[in-house]
């Protein structure tokens, strides 16, 4: 059954294991019980079974897993589009993930997904325009200006 809920989120890159360290693609798809990701997500690697070796879904407390578990317990077909990220400026990662999510959900053509990283101006035909929210301007603290 197609996923009724899609969770879009990040995974701490420091917890990558084995093939995840070698793979250039930092995206992963996870499907809960009785959920299918659909054709648009077929080219994105599945979250490997090794991810769960140290801690099963029921024991994970960091996002996105509590929400995924709640959906699974409610028997809502759920999938997640995830990206490994590290500390620091992840704005480019966020835009990439949003563009891929738009493609997976059928909101834009797949070939436009990576080109969706547009900060201003009119979107190209068939392309969504993504903008960083104003709150991101101070994401790493208030800019400091020193008088000369």
pLDDT digit string, tens, across residues 83-99: 988 877 778 888 888 88
Q: What is the CA radius of gyration of the chain?
A: 17
pLDDT digit string, tens, across residues 32-89: 887 787 777 888 888 888 888 888 999 999 889 999 999 999 999 999 999 988 877 7
Statement: residue 139 has pLDDT above 80: no
Give all strands of the β-sheet with 27-31 in edge-to-edge order: 5-12, 78-85, 27-31
Range with the lowest mean pLDDT among 58-67, 75-84, 111-120, 125-134? 111-120
Please give the share of the chain, as a percent, with pLDDT higher than 70: 79
Under 8 Å between Cβ of 26 and 12? no
Enter the pTM of the model. Answer: 0.75
Strands (E), the chain: 5-12, 27-31, 78-85
Beta pairing, strands 27-31 & 78-85: antiparallel
């Amino acid at each position: 059954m197609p996923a009724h809920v899609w969770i879009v989120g990040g995974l701490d890159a420091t917890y990558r294991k084995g093939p995840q360290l070698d793979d250039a693609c930092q995206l992963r798809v996870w499907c809960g019980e009785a959920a299918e990701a659909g054709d648009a997500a077929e080219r994105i690697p599945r979250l490997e079974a090794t991810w769960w070796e140290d801690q099963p879904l029921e024991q994970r407390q960091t996002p996105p897993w509590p929400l995924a578990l709640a959906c699974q317990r409610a028997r809502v077909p759920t999938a997640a589009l995830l990206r490994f990220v590290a500390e620091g400026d992840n704005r480019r990662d966020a835009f990439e993930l949003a563009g891929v999510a738009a493609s997976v959900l059928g909101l834009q053509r797949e070939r436009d997904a990576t080109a969706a990283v547009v900060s201003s101006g009119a979107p190209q035909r068939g392309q969504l325009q993504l903008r960083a929210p104003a709150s991101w301007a101070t994401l790493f603290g208030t800019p400091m200006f020193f008088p000369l």
